[in-house]
């Protein structure tokens, strides 16, 4: 090409690319020279050490240098393949190299050529032999051998060798990359420059320079993440929130009304939340704890304090079933104190069932009206309209709902507190809408996220930045551990008999069907087939029901009600049952195709049983007998500690899977970085120091880089 090559030059304009390779590069999201240079290696092989042939000791991998004594092709009749054989000699000896089905090699390598070969050397009939080695002619500028060589993630017809050849021609362009890290950060951390990092990653001068480049790469990744989340927190702290005052006497009355003793972890979490609510800046806290650890009680007490101060709370759940369950739980705990709780989902609206509390209990200036208008409300639409009206006028103090609460036409009299259960199931945009539901005085509501999926410590230090975290890491007294077993195909019948005997004793069973793929149709087919099989072939004498996402809400509610009241023995379900189902009499959880789920999700399913006084069991059914699968599933049988399981899940599956990549907008952060506590602490400290003295927008290139982390920054 005639025009000079720049970072913005399209790869199709590069010599040797053309339309065919352009399409292959598009699969790797490489469109420009800049994209190509930022397509960084995934690993490196050190071929810088040249071994003399006489010192080669098979088996092992070596790089040798010598001259071609002879080279030629022959045909293997027995194996029906072409074999290229070459004899290579250096001053210490000779050895044979062979390649299979690559007859064109004799055009690239001639007798007398000085070449380098790298690959595995074996001993065959007393002679050393190198099979299918990488090769390159000796020159002043080696690209593939005789040095530390990068290896890239490849696609069909696009090899690391081809990528190295193309990138080598662009060395000078690398210096066009502008530095985006502040000079102080580079100096404090002894980092090499951005352009030097890119050059050393593609063309390492030596192992030390490669280490420096990898250090800069890892530092950048975590520093950008830390700046993004901490800058979000810095911005949030500039907002005002309603200060909610703590009422000690009321808290004692509430705890007394529960009928059970709070755990130490629950008490600590409540106090942390209360202290946040008292501040004039918005709370930004995550409450995490295993299924059944008592998060709802903690949030209910905080909600009571908000209501007593005369303000409103929104409690958001990801599913209709979970929203209805929270509604019933909050009504039971809060109505005795005169708190009016309503429900609003896409399919149902329910008005408070108690009259407003007198002014002596809840201040009249809060806008709570002294009487409830008696209306003969019949249709769901008219009930919804009344819910909206009462929310706007302040008569409703707690509104529980699904994403329906995010509708733009919902206004609140004075919204002070937002609680989101299973917050990872809501997208960034949905959570942002919740933040905007502020009162007329322009304040931002306090925000509490709840999660029953324990989050690894390293993720709380990194992805969640400066988000305040309360952890309920103990279960209520008396809870028995769920005995968990991996069941191979040959043991299935034995487990079925155990299940039958357990049901005859009056207990109930969950059956979770495997998540085949993202298709609702495939998931429906899976649960329907399992329901039919169990009904007709296995448990013909038991009452079995089926539930899945495509059913109408009323039908799902009826089925869950029948199961909760004991009318049904076995409930076959999709992962719909993962959250929000509380049936103390259910003591067995069967998970079909357990290898298809992550460990954290399996732990969530298991948490649906063991909620009563009976010993409970979890059976992990799988036909996959691979060592990797068995080792992974074995990990969950050895512990009921959700935090240990979460760490293992992160190690195995990576952050995108653990956190839910679609919801979080999580960039492709390397798992090892998210598990590197020292790196996280290092970048977190540097990010804090930087933000104390600077505004991100004063560094346009840095601001542009962290923009891709905006989804993560909105996690809190």
What are the structural domain ranges in the chain?
1-42+149-176, 49-146, 248-278+294-451, 483-639
Which tops the pLDDT comparison, 135 or 408?
Answer: 135
The CATH homologous superfamily for domain 49-146 is Nucleic acid-binding proteins (2.40.50.140)
Backbone phi, then psi, for 583, in 5-degree steps?
Answer: -130, 95
Neighbouring CB atoms inside 10 A of 453's CB total 25
**C-alpha triplet 404, 405, 409: angle, nearest 5°:** 95
> Tokens 């409930």 sit at which residue?
571
CATH class of 483-639: alpha beta
In order, the DSSP letters of 529-561 are: HHHHHIIIII-TTS-EEEE-TTS-HHHHHHHHH
pLDDT score of 144: 81
Question: What is the radius of gyration, based on Cα positions, of the chain?
Answer: 32
Closest-CA residue to 549 (of 564, 528, 570): 528
pLDDT score of 465: 54
For residues 664 and 427, give the distance between their C-alpha atoms in angstroms, rounded to a whole number.
Answer: 7
What's the pLDDT band for 3 if we cut at 50, 70, 90?
Answer: confident
For range 207-216, the mean pLDDT:
94
Which tops the pLDDT comparison, 23 or 360?
Answer: 23
Q: What is the CATH number of domain 248-278+294-451?
A: 3.40.50.300
Q: At what angle do helices 295-308 and 264-277 cross, to 10 degrees?
A: 30
pLDDT score of 15: 86
In order, the DSSP letters of 150-185 are: EE---BTTB-HHHHHHHHHTTGGGGGGPPP-S-HHH
For residues 403 and 434, give the distance between their C-alpha atoms in angstroms, rounded to a whole number.
Answer: 10
pLDDT score of 576: 63
**C-alpha triplet 362, 363, 368: angle, nearest 5°:** 75
For residues 63 and 118, give the distance between their C-alpha atoms in angstroms, rounded to a whole number.
Answer: 4
For 567, the token pair is 């009318």
Q: Could you tell me if 605 and 515 are in contact, meaning their C-beta atoms sit under 8 angstroms apart? A: no
For range 582-591, the mean pLDDT:
90
For residues 60 and 548, give the distance between their C-alpha atoms in angstroms, rounded to a whole number.
Answer: 55
H/E element, 469: strand 468-472
User: Over the range 524-559, which residues count as b (16 or more CB within 10 Å of their CB) and which as e?
Assistant: bebbeebbeebbeebbeebbbbbbbeeeeeeebbeb
Which pLDDT tens digit goes with each residue over 632-644? Answer: 888 889 887 777 7
For range 447-462, the mean pLDDT:
70
For residues 700 and 670, give the distance between their C-alpha atoms in angstroms, rounded to a whole number.
Answer: 25
pLDDT score of 673: 64
**C-alpha triplet 502, 321, 389: angle, nearest 5°:** 155
> Tokens 């006084």 sit at which residue?
613
For range 329-338, the mean pLDDT:
93
For residues 665 and 655, give the distance between their C-alpha atoms in angstroms, rounded to a whole number.
Answer: 11
Q: Could you tell me if 357 and 339 are in contact, meaning their C-beta atoms sit under 8 angstroms apart? A: yes
For range 365-389, the mean pLDDT:
57
Which pLDDT tens digit goes with each residue over 541-571? Answer: 999 999 887 788 788 888 888 998 899 999 9
pLDDT score of 42: 87
For 130, the token pair is 């190198």
Which pLDDT tens digit goes with each residue over 27-49? Answer: 888 999 999 999 999 889 888 88
pLDDT score of 253: 94
Dihedral (CA of 189, 194, 196, 202) sign = positive
Closest-CA residue to 88 (of 53, 140, 47, 132): 53
For residues 588 and 570, give the distance between their C-alpha atoms in angstroms, rounded to a whole number.
Answer: 9
Peptide bond into 229 cis (omega under 30): no
Question: Within 534-654, where are the H helices?
Answer: 553-564, 599-606, 627-637, 642-653
Q: Could you tell me if 499 and 590 are in contact, meaning their C-beta atoms sit under 8 angstroms apart? A: yes
What's the pLDDT band for 518 if we cut at 50, 70, 90?
Answer: very low
Which pLDDT tens digit goes with each residue over 186-199? Answer: 999 999 999 999 99
628 has a pLDDT exceeding 70: yes
What's the pLDDT band for 670 if we cut at 50, 70, 90?
Answer: low
Indicate left, alpha or beta for 147 from its phi (over 0: left) and psi (-120 to 50: alpha).
beta
For residues 399 and 334, give the distance between their C-alpha atoms in angstroms, rounded to a whole number.
Answer: 12
What's the pLDDT band for 658 if we cut at 50, 70, 90?
Answer: very low
pLDDT score of 303: 96
pLDDT score of 584: 86
For 520, the token pair is 């609702």
For residues 303 and 295, give the distance between their C-alpha atoms in angstroms, rounded to a whole number.
Answer: 12
Mean pLDDT of the chain: 82
Which tops the pLDDT comparison, 369 or 542?
Answer: 542
> Tokens 């989902």 sit at which residue?
345
For range 126-153, the mean pLDDT:
85
Which pLDDT tens digit goes with each residue over 339-365? Answer: 999 999 877 788 887 665 443 344 433
Q: Could you tell me if 713 and 665 are in contact, meaning their C-beta atoms sit under 8 angstroms apart? A: no
647 has a pLDDT exceeding 50: yes
For residues 271 and 263, give the distance between their C-alpha atoms in angstroms, rounded to a whole number.
Answer: 13
pLDDT score of 679: 85
User: Is-same-fold flag (49-146; 483-639)?
Assistant: no
Q: Could you tell me if 413 and 445 are in contact, meaning their C-beta atoms sit under 8 angstroms apart? A: no
661 has a pLDDT exceeding 70: no
For 288, the token pair is 């995490």
Q: Which residues contact 373 (CB under 8 A, 6 or more apart)?
A: none
What's the pLDDT band for 501 if we cut at 50, 70, 90?
Answer: very high
434 has a pLDDT exceeding 80: no
Q: At what angle do helices 599-606 and 642-653 cross, to 10 degrees?
A: 150
For residues 526 and 591, give the distance between their C-alpha atoms in angstroms, rounded to a whole number.
Answer: 13
pLDDT score of 266: 93
pLDDT score of 36: 92
Which pLDDT tens digit goes with each residue over 672-696? Answer: 666 577 888 888 889 989 999 999 9
Which tops the pLDDT comparison, 357 or 469?
Answer: 469
For residues 99 and 7, give the distance between their C-alpha atoms in angstroms, rounded to a whole number.
Answer: 38
Q: Could you tell me if 645 and 636 are in contact, meaning their C-beta atoms sit under 8 angstroms apart? A: yes
pLDDT score of 523: 55
For residues 618 and 606, give the distance between their C-alpha atoms in angstroms, rounded to a whole number.
Answer: 6
What's the pLDDT band for 595 if we cut at 50, 70, 90?
Answer: confident
pTM (2 decimals)? 0.64
What's the pLDDT band for 503 if we cut at 50, 70, 90?
Answer: very high
Looking at the chain, the whole-number percentage of residues with pLDDT higher than 90 is 36
Which pLDDT tens digit goes with each residue over 380-407? Answer: 678 888 888 898 888 999 999 987 787 7
For 114, the token pair is 């000085």
Q: Which residues contact 501 (CB under 8 A, 6 or more apart)?
A: none
Which pLDDT tens digit goes with each residue over 67-111? Answer: 999 999 988 877 778 899 999 999 999 999 999 988 888 888 889
For residues 609 and 581, give the distance between their C-alpha atoms in angstroms, rounded to a whole number.
Answer: 10
Which pLDDT tens digit goes with each residue over 257-270? Answer: 998 889 999 999 99
For range 141-168, the mean pLDDT:
85
């Amino acid at each position: 090409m005639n025009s000079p090559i720049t970072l913005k030059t399209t790869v199709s304009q590069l010599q040797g690319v053309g339309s065919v390779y352009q399409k292959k590069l598009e699969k790797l999201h490489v469109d420009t020279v800049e994209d190509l240079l930022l397509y960084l290696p995934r690993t490196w092989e050190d071929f810088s050490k040249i071994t003399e042939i006489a010192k080669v000791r098979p088996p092992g991998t070596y790089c040798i240098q010598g001259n071609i004594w002879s080279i030629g092709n022959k045909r293997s009749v027995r194996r029906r393949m072409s074999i290229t054989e070459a004899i290579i000699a250096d001053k210490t000896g000779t050895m044979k190299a062979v390649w299979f089905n690559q007859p064109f090699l004799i055009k690239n390598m001639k007798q007398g050529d000085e070449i380098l070969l790298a690959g595995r050397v074996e001993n065959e009939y007393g002679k050393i032999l190198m099979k299918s080695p990488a090769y390159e002619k000796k020159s002043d500028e080696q690209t593939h051998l005789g040095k530390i060589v990068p290896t890239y993630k490849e696609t069909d017809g696009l090899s690391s060798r081809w990528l190295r050849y193309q990138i080598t021609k662009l060395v000078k362009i690398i210096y066009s990359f502008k530095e985006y890290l502040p000079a102080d950060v580079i100096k404090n951390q002894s980092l090499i420059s951005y352009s030097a990092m890119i050059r050393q990653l593609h063309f390492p001068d030596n192992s030390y320079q490669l280490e420096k480049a990898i250090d800069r790469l890892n530092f950048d990744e975590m520093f950008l993440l830390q700046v993004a989340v901490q800058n979000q927190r810095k911005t949030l702290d500039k907002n005002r929130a309603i200060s909610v005052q703590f009422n000690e006497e009321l808290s004692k009355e509430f705890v007394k009304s529960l009928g059970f003793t709070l755990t130490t972890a629950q008490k600590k979490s409540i106090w942390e939340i209360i202290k946040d609510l008292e501040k004039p800046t918005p709370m930004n806290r995550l409450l995490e704890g295993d299924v059944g650890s008592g998060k709802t009680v903690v949030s209910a007490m905080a909600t009571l304090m908000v209501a007593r101060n005369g303000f409103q709370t929104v409690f958001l759940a990801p599913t209709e079933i979970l929203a209805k369950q929270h509604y019933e739980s909050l009504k039971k705990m809060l109505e005795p104190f005169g708190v009016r709780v309503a429900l609003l989902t896409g399919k149902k609206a329910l008005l408070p069932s108690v009259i407003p509390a007198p002014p002596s209990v809840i201040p009249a200036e809060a806008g709570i009206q002294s009487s409830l208008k008696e209306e003969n409300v019949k249709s769901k639409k008219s009930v919804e309209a009344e819910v909206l009206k009462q929310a706007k006028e302040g008569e409703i103090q707690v509104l529980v709902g699904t994403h329906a609460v995010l509708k733009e036409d919902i206004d609140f009299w004075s919204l002070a507190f937002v609680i989101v259960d299973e917050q990872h199931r809501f997208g960034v945009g949905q959570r942002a809408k919740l933040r905007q539901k502020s009162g007329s005085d322009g304040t931002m509501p306090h925000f509490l996220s709840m999660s029953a999926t324990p989050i690894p410590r390293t993720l709380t230090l990194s992805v969640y930045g400066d988000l305040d975290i309360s952890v309920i890491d103990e279960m209520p007294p008396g809870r028995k551990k769920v005995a968990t077993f991996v069941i191979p195909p040959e043991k299935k019948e034995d487990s079925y008999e155990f299940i039958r005997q357990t049901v005859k004793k009056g207990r109930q069973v969950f059956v979770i069907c495997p998540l085949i793929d993202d298709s609702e149709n495939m998931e429906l087919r899976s649960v329907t087939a399992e329901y039919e099989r169990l009904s007709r072939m296995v448990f013909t004498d038991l009452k079995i029901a089926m539930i899945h996402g495509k059913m109408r809400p009323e039908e799902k509610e009826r089925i869950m009600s029948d199961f909760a009241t004991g009318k049904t023995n076995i409930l076959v379900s999709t992962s719909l049952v993962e959250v929000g189902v509380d049936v103390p009499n259910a003591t067995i959880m069967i998970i079909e195709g357990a290898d298809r789920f992550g460990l954290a999700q399996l732990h969530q399913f298991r948490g649906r049983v063991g909620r009563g006084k009976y010993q409970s069991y979890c059976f992990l059914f799988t036909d996959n007998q691979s060592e990797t699968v068995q080792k992974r599933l074995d990990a969950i049988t050895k512990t009921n500690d959700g935090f240990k399981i979460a760490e293992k899940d992160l190690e195995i599956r990576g952050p995108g899977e653990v956190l839910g990549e679609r919801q979080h907008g999580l960039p492709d952060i390397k798992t090892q970085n998210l598990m590197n506590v020292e790196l996280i602490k290092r970048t977190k400290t540097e990010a804090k120091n930087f933000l104390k003295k600077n505004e991100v927008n004063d560094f346009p290139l840095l601001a542009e880089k962290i923009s891709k982390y905006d989804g993560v920054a909105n996690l809190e």
